[in-house]
Amino acid sequence: MRFAEIAAAVAAIVAIPVAMDIEKPTMSADQFIYEVRCVAYADVARANDDLGVLKMRLNAEAERQPETAARDAEAAVEAVAQRAVAARSPAELQQVRAERAEACAGSQMFAGADAGENV
């Protein structure tokens, strides 16, 4: 019985800081927007099977980010979608591929992934 009381007390002491850390952003606002742009390009290219997981992580991060960062990220996704839809010629598609490579060049979420796949 005494062990259970000690275990509960220790769990409470550990859980409070962990719960408080959940509320803090894990990325800077700039890094968050950068990652969102990268995932948006991968989404329009249908380049990664793990996009659902990445989107869930970014949605959770969006809840922690300042409201302005979340709005900027939404605008970035919209801009990527519009750009991809507007690309018609081979030259425009090549430009979108280059933009995707640039958007994902330093991505932590796509570390080790090839950012130059087809769009």
SS3 sequence, 71-105?
A: HHHHHHHHHHHHHHHHCCCHHHHHHHHHHHHHHHC
Model confidence band, residue 29 (pLDDT cutoffs 50, 70, 90): very high
DSSP assigned state of 28: -
For residue 28 the two structure tokens come to 């800077």
CA distance 54 to 49: 10
In this predicted structure, what is the pLDDT of residue 113? 43
Average pLDDT over residues 29-54: 86
In this predicted structure, what is the pLDDT of residue 10? 52
In this predicted structure, what is the pLDDT of residue 2? 47
Model confidence band, residue 117 (pLDDT cutoffs 50, 70, 90): very low
Model confidence band, residue 96 (pLDDT cutoffs 50, 70, 90): confident
Q: What phi, psi does 20 have (nearest 5°)?
A: -70, -35
Residue 20 scores a pLDDT above 50: no
CA distance 45 to 119: 4
